[in-house]
Amino acid sequence: MRYPPPMHVFGLLLLSTAGKFDIRVTEEMIRHSRIRDILYFAGFAYGIGVLLLVLASGISSRLRDTASRVTKKPFIVAAIFTALFVVATFVLELPLSFYSGYVVPHQFNLSNQDLPQWLGEQLKGLAISIVLSAVAGGLVMLAIQRIQRWWLAIWLGSIPITIFMVVVTPIFIDPVFNDFQPLKDQVLAKRLLDMAGRAGIEGSRVYQVDKSRQTKTMNAYVTGIGPTKRIVMWDTLLAKMSHDEVVAVMGHEMGHYVLHHLWKGIAFGLAIGFVMLFLAHRFYELGIARWGARWRVDSPRDPAALPWLLVLLSLSTFLLSPAINSFSRWEERQADTFGLQLTGLNEPMATAFIKLAENSKANPYPHPFIEFWRYSHPSIGKRVKEVLREGASETAR
């Protein structure tokens, strides 16, 4: 029969490794995190401002008029309007995108891209967004024009579309920006596949991606469903972490698979989407009735009203961010625990987290409000502490 060890045993075990696992917090890390936090909230306000500007300045109505001169078919008018709208908002948001996506990473030596490369990727993203958004915009406006409970129809339609996008993104969209290859390190690959077998993951695929083209930071993630499911590691992570650290990180990622976090995330996202669309539809028609004449928007069925719907959805997303991120942090904690149970590599997982914080120049001890509102993962400081506590608990048994 096992008895819980006295509390001082945990304390001695933690103290014996405390110095080894101290995170070196620098002024640069604090300053970089502060800028990113400010950009998060400023970016939301800026995005809402752009949408309201498009409405109030008449840009939206002029784009609708342009689309209407091409054809009179409602779906195509809405699709053309949406494509033009995406270009307009891209241009209006470019100053903030340039500062947050290019200036700040270069300021903190986190980027490997020059300006032409960065702009090239922005244009690729714009092209993909135009195509996907045009189809989505056409379908959304078609639902609003023809179905009384359009918000419910949009939500139901989003279910197969969401699943379809999760399936196709790894093989059609992600390769537009990077080169994905099976993991080249055969020793590491065998170790990971053996671990996947112990975890009960059939047909697992592990890829490496050349993210060093863009960034100096590290990451790994799970993506895809069915035939496209895969675990992806950035080449920067493979270059900067030991095999044990990589295995510990992959144990976490495999946890997402085994615990069905992708499906749970989709289900949770759809539930949030239901709430957002329900709330949005109640204010959508009220807003058009009150300000539509000023915006030159004829009715809720007018494609030029689409920016107003996006304002409402963006506001809902922002206000629900704490709930969304709390759910994500819960999944991440579960994956950490699974990874530790699968690998037993508590110390390598702790050092991997420390490297992630130091490499990305992120403050491992953010303000509680910032973590509550915008962090999709528990803070690095908390994760290291939990990993070491788990290790101390296992050692003491």
Q: Give this prediction's pTM.
A: 0.88
Q: Outline where DSSP puts E strands in the chain.
A: 180-182, 206-209, 220-223, 230-234
Q: Helices (H), strands (E): how many in the chain?
A: 17, 4
What contacts 196, CB < 8 A, 6 or more positions away? 204, 206, 254
Residue 201: predicted pLDDT: 80
Task: Give the tokens for residue 252.
Answer: 């976490």
Residue 359: predicted pLDDT: 92
Residue stretches of the chain with pLDDT short of 70: 1-19, 203-204, 391-397
> Mind giving me the DSSP string for 2-55?
--PPPHHHHHHHHHHHHTTT-----HHHHHHHHHHHHHHHHHHHHHHHHHHHHH
pLDDT per position as a tens digit, 195-246: 888 888 876 688 999 999 999 999 988 888 888 888 899 999 999 999 999 9
Bridge partners, residue 181, by sequence: 208
Residue 196: predicted pLDDT: 86
Phi, psi (rounded to 5 degrees) for 180: -105, 130
**How do the domains of the chain map onto residue ranges?**
27-168+262-323
Residue 312: predicted pLDDT: 96
